[in-house]
Structure 1
Amino acid sequence: MSRPATRTPPHLLTLVALSGVSALSMNVFLPSLPGMAVDFGVDYAVMQLSVSAYIGASAVLQLLGGPISDRFGRRPVVIWGLVLFLLATIGTLTAQDAGSFLAFRLAQAVITVCMLVPRAVIRDLFDGDKAGSMLGYVTMGMAVVPMMAPVFGGVLDELFGWRANFTVMGLLGLAVLILAFADMGETVRGGGLPLRAQIANYPALARSQRFWGYCAAATLSSGAFFAYLGGAPFVGAQVFGLTPAQVGYWFAAPSVGYVTGNFLSGRYSRILGLNRMILIGAVICVIALSASMLATLAGIVQPIVFFGAIACMGLGNGMVLPNANAGMMSVRPELAGTASGLGGALAVAGGAVLSALAGALLQPGSGPEPLLAIMVASAAGSLLAIMWVLRRERQLALI
Structure 2
Amino acid sequence: MINANIIHRRQLANIITTINRYFGRKSTFSLEDLSLALFYHHLFYLEENVIYKGKRDQILEQIVRKIKVEGLAGIMGTPQGPFLMNCLANVIKGMYRNEENSPALYDSVNQFSHELLNEGWITKEWSNWGYLDGWAGMANYYLELPKEFSSRAAFLKRLDQVPDEWILTSFGQYPGLPFRQRPLVEVGLGSGITGILTVLERLATATGNPLLATLLEENVRQLLQWRQEVDQTASKCSFFPFMIDRTKREAHYDNRLWWKSGDLGQVLLLYRNGQLQHNDHQARTALLVALNTLMRKVPQHTNIENATIEEGAAGVAELYRKLFHLMGNTQLLDGYHYWISETERLLEKEVSEGRWYSRGVGVLDGLTGIGLTLAFSEYGMTTSWSDVLLI
TM class by shorter chain equals under 0.3
The structure whose residues are more often helix, as a share, is: 1
| Structure number with higher relative contact order (C-alpha < 8 Å, ≥ 6 residues apart) | 1
The normalised TM-score by structure 1 is 0.25
TM-score (norm 2): 0.26
